[in-house]
Chain A
Amino acid sequence: MKRRLILVGTGASVATLGLAAPAFAQDGTSAEAVQATLDNIWVLVAAVLVIFMQAGFALVEAGLTRAKNVANIMMKNLMDFSAGVLAFAVVGFAIAFGSGNSFFGTEGWLLDPNHFTDGYFGTLSLPTFFIFQAAFAATAATIVSGAMAERTKFKSYFIYSFVLTALIYPVVVHWLWGGGWLAELATPMIDFAGSTIVHSVGGWAALMGAIILGPRIGKYAKDGTPRAIPGHSIPFAIIGVFILFIGWFGFNPGSELAADDAVGVIALTTLLSGAAGAVFATLTVWWKTGAPDVAMAGNGALAGLVGITAGTANVSNWGAALIGALAGIIVVYSVFFLDRRRIDDPVGAISVHGVAGAFGTLMVGLLATDGGLFYGGGFDQLLSQLIGVVAVFVFVTITAGLLFLAIKVTVGLRVPPEEEIEGLDVVEHGTPGYGPDVFATAPAAG
């Protein structure tokens, strides 16, 4: 998201022409005006693709959990998106992109057009830019629902969604994309589309949520051995992975924030990394367990996509494939590691988004064709990447940890054991996800 950095005056290099054109130039014939229109249309389409990722998350999470909780997981996905959009519009967007200090924005509440004037976002209009960013905020929020699946009170998750998108996520965004201290480093951190800024924020919040909740009933045998709790629909999960894969072509190329030549380049690194992640996760789990596990292959594709998100505009095609392959291998070991440590993440969200996100961000320090260690750029970029990864980890684990603990001691975080065994659908939402056929000829109950 280099353009955003320019706007807040970090001195990054000027990208493409048309930068200075107002978003809605009235003389529709100039090249600048046409470029501005193209930019807005492309970024809006990309925003819709990112919103489509919500469907992917919903299906992955539903597929990898049990049928008795499917309505609950769908509801969490719908509500973290909807609550997230509102919270981000009212408060979060100003903290992320409003003028302020190096740590958070202090102006531009309620999408104030007097603060976010024409030109504030380069060629992009306030509506276009906000919709794109709101879709990103909702992505960070929804990552958590899978890790906390099958045992979290709905109202507690609802509260979490508001706070993450209103306060926690926007602060991290401000640090880099809002021109904050990570962008002000002598060698600014590179996280083009948000391996760390978006995915790790969700992943580390998911980590704290899963730890504070504790594992699902039955996840561990009496001797502590992790037991499999198979999800109820592998087709859901893999269709979800495909939808996310498609959505990523909005997530990464859209983050160029312009309709220019870089869009296709970025799309290709995204494609190669996601494919490599799927293949190498499959080979790894096959080698380790004797079976090419389907759900793990899906995690691998997503790990590859998360991994390349930071460096998607800064690494070569084969650098991207390498990042994806390694992310695919790492995600398998991470899932096994967390399982053994009694951190019950039913869908692998912590490994996919937290671990692969941090890994991909660090790899930019090695593989950036301009400034990476392997390209003779020295250690400066790698150090900046490390600072960003560690800072986000510390900030999110502390704030999200405090948030979940506060929810736990006030309204409670976990459903009672009887409800967990019966399933959350009926008790939390009044109806099962897969209801029985109700015979129309039978007299209505009550």
Chain B
Amino acid sequence: MQLVTAVIKPHKVDEVIEAVKATGIQGMTVTEVKGFGRQGGHTETYRGAEYTVDFTPKMKLEIVVDASDVPRITDVIQSTAGAGQIGDGKIWVTTLDTIIRIRTGEQGRDAI
């Protein structure tokens, strides 16, 4: 059981979600987040004065899947979220110890 986490550009989120859903996954969590990577922040202006925005708005997708599905999901995310520009985001995969479905008490792969 793996957790696939992707942080992507907000304007790509619809396209990515649609593509990921088409792979047959059972659920996902999406969160509005702010952060910076190698591209750093950017400056905006207000009433003629500049100010620095250190954290750029991003969307975070979290998908719990069986290990065998991971390459398919990450491939789909990478191919749809990428615009070939700095700031496109990142994907990382972590191993999960336990998953429990609250309603039934099912555990492990059955709870995905």
Q: Which residues of A contact B (CB under 8 A)?
A: 226-231, 285, 288-291, 293, 295-296, 332, 335-336, 339, 348
A293 contacts B51, C-beta separation under 8 Å: no
What are 18 A-B pairs with beta-carbon distances under 8 A? A227-B50, A228-B45, A228-B47, A228-B51, A229-B46, A229-B51, A230-B46, A230-B51, A289-B45, A289-B48, A291-B45, A293-B45, A293-B46, A293-B47, A295-B47, A296-B47, A296-B48, A335-B47
Distance in angstroms between the alpha carbons of A339 and B51 in the assembled complex? 14
Distance in angstroms between the alpha carbons of A348 and B48 in the assembled complex? 12
Q: Shortest distance in angstroms between A284's beta carbon and chain B's nearest beta carbon?
A: 10
Residues of A within 8 A of B44 (CB): 228, 230
Q: Shortest distance in angstroms between B51's beta carbon and chain A's nearest beta carbon?
A: 4
Q: Which of B19-69 contact A (CB under 8 A)?
A: 44-51
Could you say which of A228, A288, A335, A348 contacts B50, with CB atoms under 8 Å apart? A228
Q: Shortest distance in angstroms between B26's beta carbon and chain A's nearest beta carbon?
A: 30
Residues of A within 8 A of B47 (CB): 228, 285, 293, 295-296, 335, 348
Report which residue of B46, B47, B50 has the largest number of chain A beta carbons within 10 angstroms of its beta carbon: B47
Residues of B within 8 A of A290 (CB): 45
Chain B residue with minimal CB distance to A336? Answer: B48
Distance in angstroms between the alpha carbons of A291 and B50 in the assembled complex? 11
Could you say which of A231, A339, A348 contacts B49, with CB atoms under 8 Å apart? A339
Residues of A within 8 A of B45 (CB): 228, 289-291, 293
Chain B residue with minimal CB distance to A296? Answer: B47
Distance in angstroms between the alpha carbons of A339 and B50 in the assembled complex? 12
The number of chain B residues touching the other chain, given as a range, is under 10
Q: Shortest distance in angstroms between A333's beta carbon and chain B's nearest beta carbon?
A: 10
Q: Shortest distance in angstroms between B9's beta carbon and chain A's nearest beta carbon?
A: 22
Could you say which of A288, A295, A332, A336 contacts B46, with CB atoms under 8 Å apart? A295
The 8 closest A-B pairs by CB, nearest first: A228-B49, A228-B46, A228-B51, A230-B46, A289-B48, A295-B47, A291-B45, A226-B49
Residues of A within 8 A of B51 (CB): 227-230
B46 contacts A335, C-beta separation under 8 Å: no
Residues of B within 8 A of A228 (CB): 44-47, 49-51
Residues of A within 8 A of B46 (CB): 228-231, 293, 295
Report which residue of B44, B45, B49 has the largest number of chain A beta carbons within 10 angstroms of its beta carbon: B49
Distance in angstroms between the alpha carbons of A285 and B45 in the assembled complex? 11
Distance in angstroms between the alpha carbons of A227 and B49 in the assembled complex? 6
Distance in angstroms between the alpha carbons of A228 and B47 in the assembled complex? 7
Residues of B within 8 A of A348 (CB): 47
Chain B residue with minimal CB distance to A285? Answer: B48
A332 contacts B48, C-beta separation under 8 Å: yes
Residues of B within 8 A of A226 (CB): 49
Residues of A within 8 A of B48 (CB): 285, 288-289, 293, 296, 332, 335-336, 339
Residues of B within 8 A of A293 (CB): 45-48
Distance in angstroms between the alpha carbons of A335 and B51 in the assembled complex? 17
Distance in angstroms between the alpha carbons of A335 and B47 in the assembled complex? 8
Distance in angstroms between the alpha carbons of A290 and B51 in the assembled complex? 15
Q: Shortest distance in angstroms between A300's beta carbon and chain B's nearest beta carbon?
A: 12
Q: Shortest distance in angstroms between A64's beta carbon and chain B's nearest beta carbon?
A: 8
Distance in angstroms between the alpha carbons of A230 and B49 in the assembled complex? 10
Q: Shortest distance in angstroms between B55's beta carbon and chain A's nearest beta carbon?
A: 14
Q: Shortest distance in angstroms between A62's beta carbon and chain B's nearest beta carbon?
A: 16
Distance in angstroms between the alpha carbons of A336 and B47 in the assembled complex? 8
Chain A residue with minimal CB distance to B51? Answer: A228
Chain B residue with minimal CB distance to A293? Answer: B47
Distance in angstroms between the alpha carbons of A358 and B46 in the assembled complex? 26
Chain B residue with minimal CB distance to A335? Answer: B47
Q: Shortest distance in angstroms between A228's beta carbon and chain B's nearest beta carbon?
A: 4
Report which residue of A227, A228, A295, A332 has the largest number of chain B beta carbons within 10 angstroms of its beta carbon: A228
Distance in angstroms between the alpha carbons of A161 and B45 in the assembled complex? 33
Residues of B within 8 A of A296 (CB): 47-48
Q: Shortest distance in angstroms between A336's beta carbon and chain B's nearest beta carbon?
A: 6
Q: Shortest distance in angstroms between B45's beta carbon and chain A's nearest beta carbon?
A: 5
Residues of A within 8 A of B50 (CB): 227-228
Task: Give 18 new A-B contacts, CB below 8 A, not counting A228-B44, A295-B46, A296-B48.
Answer: A226-B49, A227-B49, A227-B50, A228-B49, A228-B50, A229-B46, A229-B51, A231-B46, A285-B48, A288-B48, A289-B45, A289-B48, A290-B45, A293-B46, A293-B47, A332-B48, A339-B48, A339-B49
